[in-house]
Amino acid sequence: MEKKDPQHQDQLFFSDDERHGLYKTIFNRRDVRGQFKPDPIPDDVLSRVLYAAHHAPSVGFMQPWNFVVVRSQQVKQNVHSAFVEANDKAADLFETEKSKTYRSLKLEGILESPVNICITCDRQRTGPNVIGRTSMKEMDLYSSVCAVQNFWLAARAEGLGVGWVSIVERKALKEALAIPSDIVPIAYLCVGYVSHFFDKPELETAGWLKRTPLDDLLYFDQWGEQRNTEEDTLVSQVVDDKHFPGEW
Ligand SMILES: Cc1cc2c(cc1C)N(C[C@H](O)[C@H](O)[C@H](O)COP(=O)(O)O)c1[nH]c(=O)[nH]c(=O)c1N2
């Protein structure tokens, strides 16, 4: 019989406190635009968060990302100008009532946050053939998005706010950061300590959209096949858990 390693169970399962910590991080993460404080981010903190991003899964382990750490006020100013230009155009795309709300929203914290970070994707990083990217070519882009999410969650666990700014033309962003033509900018993130984190998405509070009930999004075996609480115990569990993590 295989000898039981006493540490084995600990490696398989996290303790209740550890699990709580993870869910707390996930459910308390917010997109931050307006509550940044200028306080510098210590190198050891930012280094840990960058390591978390670097340990994201990636297709064929290609690790297609780079992290452009932007601290220069001039570079931030250039990105901000690109945002202002794109944001003006964006507001016109929504019908009159929504356009008014749109213009009242704060959608970036580029200048107020002490550090901005651009996470990129080098689509050629490990050559043309990558394990897992042979059929669906966009998997490398998704890998860099995984790095973004790791970054966002680790930052939250460190008490740092992160705001993703995507209202900027790709060309303008690449110019501002001198990103070569074959590198794709995936996310431009504003990062810093904050005065507070909101408990709900700002767009929800502003009445833009509500969170969709999870059970509306569940299909079984085939696209569009929904089940109700009587038909499937998972559906009733999901409905019961609608306040998760709540007091869990
Ligand atoms: C790919 C992508 C791109 C953007 C965003 C997110 C993601 C995933 N979000 C943040 C977005 O509005 C926010 O995540 C949702 O409103 C949900 O809120 P919480 O992130 O839960 O606070 C975002 N927010 C913003 O103010 N300006 C922006 O340009 C963007 N762009």
- Residues 166, 84 within the same domain: yes
Q: Is the CB of residue 168 below 6 angstroms from any atom belonging to ligand 1?
A: no
CATH number for the domain that contains residue 136: 3.40.109.10
Is there an atom of ligand 1 within 6 Å of 33 CB? yes
Q: How far is the CA of 188 from the centre of ligand 1 (A)?
A: 11
Whether 41 and 130 map to the same domain: the answer is yes
| Res 6: pLDDT | 60
pLDDT of residue 246: 87
Pocket lining: 186 vs ligand 1, CB cutoff 6 Å: no
CA 209 / ligand 1 centre spacing (Å): 12
- Closest residue by Cα to atom 17, ligand 1, is 201
Contacts of 151 (CB under 8 A, 6+ apart): 49, 50, 52, 53, 117, 119, 162, 189
ipTM score assigned to the predicted complex:
0.99
Strand order in the sheet with 160-165: 67-70, 115-122, 183-193, 160-165
Range of the domain at 238: 212-248
Element (H, E) at 68: strand 67-70
Tokens of 204: 């929800």
pLDDT surpasses 80 at 182:
yes
Whole-model pTM? 0.95
The two structure tokens encoding residue 42: 């210590």
**With a 6 A CB cut-off, is 70 part of the ligand 1 pocket?**
no
160: alpha, beta or left, given left = phi > 0 and alpha = psi -120 to 50? beta
172 lines ligand 1 (CB under 6 A): no
Query: Counting beta carbons within 10 angstroms of the beta carbon of residue 129, is it exposed (0 to 12), middle (13 to 18) or buried (19 or more)?
Result: exposed
Closest atom of ligand 1 relative to the 203 alpha carbon: 16
197 and 217 inside one domain:
no
CB of 166 sitting under 6 A from ligand 1 = yes
Q: Is 217 found in the same domain as 192?
A: no
- As beta bridge partners, residue 28 has none
pLDDT value of residue 95: 84
Joined together, the tokens standing for residue 209 give 């959209």
**Whats the size of the chain, residue-wise?**
248
Whether residue 165 has its Cβ less than 6 Å from ligand 1: yes
Query: What's the 3-state SS for 121-146?
Result: EECCCCCCCCCCCCCCCCHHHHHHHH
- pLDDT category, 2, cuts 50, 70, 90? low
Tell me whether residue 220 is in a domain.
Answer: yes
Nearest CA residue ID for atom 7, ligand 1: 164
How many other C-beta atoms lie within 10 A of the C-beta of residue 67?
16
Per-residue pLDDT tens for 101-113?
Answer: 899 999 999 999 9
Rounded to whole angstroms, the Cα distance separating 210 from 156 reads 23
pLDDT confidence of residue 54: 99
Query: Is it the case that residue 1 has pLDDT exceeding 60?
Result: no
Residues 34 and 133 in one domain: yes
